Chain A
């Protein structure tokens, strides 16, 4: 069985504005932009706050906690590089800070409403901010193999 580390898939197309988010994830930290104008968290990173249009956005540590709003188990991926690790799970994570983020979901038997936690994971040679389903037996941790 192919490991996520070994697949050849497209990585993030970063720009200087977004690099801190990906760099932090690669170091095992989860950060979000916070708006100084309206005190709301923002995801994905932007030049101005989508809520109040303030340009006063700064990076802050985030909890890495969230709940699964929805998920799909992908059998026929849109990009052929993902075929080797099918079926795999993609989900919408409602972050504790407010915004929703799409991510790769680790762990078995996902259910809508379940708690998930930040799990930095090596996908195709890059450590990305994935999330893992939290059960009573497990604490979230990444797969940095």
Chain B
């Protein structure tokens, strides 16, 4: 089934393990190391890479990002662009790569995203509405926005802090199966999560991702080429994307987001249902993002995520394995590469190479990406090469 519906094949992945701080790194250099890992993993030759999709590189390379990256890598691509969808950027690259290949613009696309965390990381010099109309009231940064979303969910549905803490608990539990995870060796109980410092009520510290340095790379080519070359492939079966707003004040809904139509489209394209998934690889910048995504996916009713979390095992042997490498709450969030962390983990699971955390017989994965204030959404359905 996978091959017949395949829109493109992921044939290589690379990942730099997350670390809390870097010294003297350049983002270009980290992305190049990660790209080389993905190329080696794919078995392609460098000269075969003729497409390049990269993420924004705030401060280091504000403009001409694709040309700067291509020059650094010694590539001369026939299709290149920046994908700027916050945490959804990595997922947005995957279907754009597939579309560019289908349009005949290129045959093998390197999708690469990540960042350093040197001490001199620049702040974004915004001069736009969110800077003018949110920041002066004391609302700098994402924590305030997601605290507002969590409060709205609690007020609308009576969901509890303990319900949300269960999400972080499972992230930490799965991180114990992933030695590269930033919270490897540090599980956390629901009580410990609720006892962590209040950052922006009702958000506790352990409900918020740890920012890390890191990078993720994925190489996409046509399913035909992957088959002809006998490459290890994971197939893109369906995708959906939706952008609804930027500032949380402009959100059309605080308890349901643009992932709802994005997932619906990805399921429709792939002919699958959420219940068919072997892995839920759900963007988890904050606990509330997972709660809303579960409800928007249809796997539980609106307001029902708490009961769903209490009733299931989300480890690799459970009915609904979720974020098997710990997700961003357990693995760490390498800035805009956060979404691609979920893609790379899903690829390992669907190849059967997720050592130490392998889901037996994994065939289908739902991967979600989210950017800004539950604003930018991309959902992918990936399938094993069966």
- Which positions in A face B, CB cutoff 8 Å? 9-15, 18, 44, 69-79, 82, 85, 87-88, 90-92, 100-104, 111-113, 123, 126, 128, 130
User: Which residues of A have CB within 8 Å of B318?
Assistant: none
B127 to A13, Cβ gap below 8 A? yes
- Choose, from B33-41, B197-205, B266-274, the stretch at the interface: B197-205
B132 to A76, Cβ gap below 8 A? no
User: Which residues of B have CB within 8 Å of A75?
Assistant: 197-201
Question: B159 to nearest A CB, angstroms?
Answer: 13
A112 to B133, Cβ gap below 8 A? no
A-B contact pairs, 15 of them (CB 8 A): A15-B132, A69-B254, A72-B151, A72-B201, A73-B198, A74-B144, A74-B200, A75-B199, A76-B197, A76-B199, A78-B140, A82-B140, A100-B250, A103-B137, A130-B137
User: Which residues of A have CB within 8 Å of B131?
Assistant: 13
Q: Does B105 contact A (CB under 8 A)?
A: no
Q: Which chain B residue lies CB-closest to A128?
A: B136
User: Which residues of A have CB within 8 Å of B126?
Assistant: 13
Known: A70-B149, A77-B138. A101 touches B133 (CB 8 A): yes
Question: B85 to nearest A CB, angstroms?
Answer: 20
Question: B379 to nearest A CB, angstroms?
Answer: 25
B140 to A79, Cβ gap below 8 A? yes
A76 to B139, CA, bound (A): 11
A72 to B147, Cβ gap below 8 A? yes
- Could you say which of B132, B199, B248 contacts A92, with CB atoms under 8 Å apart? B248
A111 to B201, CA, bound (A): 13
Question: A49 to nearest B CB, angstroms?
Answer: 14
Known: A72-B147, A78-B141, A102-B139. A92 touches B249 (CB 8 A): yes
Q: Does B134 contact A (CB under 8 A)?
A: yes
- For A85, A90, A112, A123, the residue with the greatest tally of chain B CB atoms inside 10 Å of its CB is A90
Q: Which chain A residue lies CB-closest to B126?
A: A13
Question: B145 to nearest A CB, angstroms?
Answer: 9
User: Which residues of B have CB within 8 Å of A103?
Assistant: 137
User: Which residues of B have CB within 8 Å of A91?
Assistant: 148
User: Which residues of B have CB within 8 Å of A126?
Assistant: 136
Q: Does B155 contact A (CB under 8 A)?
A: yes
Question: A133 to nearest B CB, angstroms?
Answer: 15
B140 to A76, Cβ gap below 8 A? no
Q: Does B143 contact A (CB under 8 A)?
A: yes
Question: B124 to nearest A CB, angstroms?
Answer: 12
Near A by CB (< 8 A), chain B positions 122-166 give 126-127, 129, 131-141, 143-144, 147-149, 151-152, 155-156
Question: A112 to nearest B CB, angstroms?
Answer: 4
User: Which residues of A have CB within 8 Å of B197?
Assistant: 75-76
A92 to B129, Cβ gap below 8 A? no
B137 to A90, Cβ gap below 8 A? yes
Q: Which chain B residue lies CB-closest to A75?
A: B198
Near A by CB (< 8 A), chain B positions 179-231 give 197-203
Q: Does B247 contact A (CB under 8 A)?
A: yes
Q: Which chain A residue lies CB-closest to B198?
A: A75
A13 to B147, CA, bound (A): 25
B155 to A73, Cβ gap below 8 A? no
Known: A76-B197, A78-B141. A102 touches B133 (CB 8 A): yes
Q: Which chain A residue lies CB-closest to B128?
A: A13
User: Which residues of A have CB within 8 Å of B141?
Assistant: 77-79
B148 to A71, Cβ gap below 8 A? yes
Known: A44-B129, A70-B155, A112-B152. A90 touches B249 (CB 8 A): no
Q: Which chain A residue lies CB-closest to B202?
A: A72
Task: Pick the 4 closest A-B CB pairs, nearest first.
Answer: A78-B141, A78-B140, A72-B147, A112-B155
Q: Which chain A residue lies CB-closest to B147?
A: A72
- Could you say which of B132, B152, B203 contacts A14, with CB atoms under 8 Å apart? B132
A90 to B129, CA, bound (A): 17
Given contacts A13-B131, A69-B152, A73-B200, 20 further A-B contacts (CB under 8 A): A12-B132, A12-B136, A18-B132, A44-B129, A70-B152, A73-B198, A73-B201, A75-B201, A76-B143, A78-B140, A79-B138, A79-B141, A82-B138, A90-B138, A90-B148, A91-B148, A100-B250, A101-B133, A102-B137, A128-B136
A126 to B248, CA, bound (A): 24
Q: Which chain A residue lies CB-closest to B199?
A: A76
A11 to B140, CA, bound (A): 12
User: Which residues of B have CB within 8 Å of A13?
Assistant: 126-127, 131-132
Question: B158 to nearest A CB, angstroms?
Answer: 12
A90 to B152, Cβ gap below 8 A? no
A15 to B247, CA, bound (A): 18
- For A15, A18, A72, A78, the residue with the greatest tally of chain B CB atoms inside 10 Å of its CB is A72
A27 to B247, CA, bound (A): 26
A90 to B201, CA, bound (A): 10
B151 to A102, Cβ gap below 8 A? no
Q: Which chain B residue lies CB-closest to A11?
A: B136
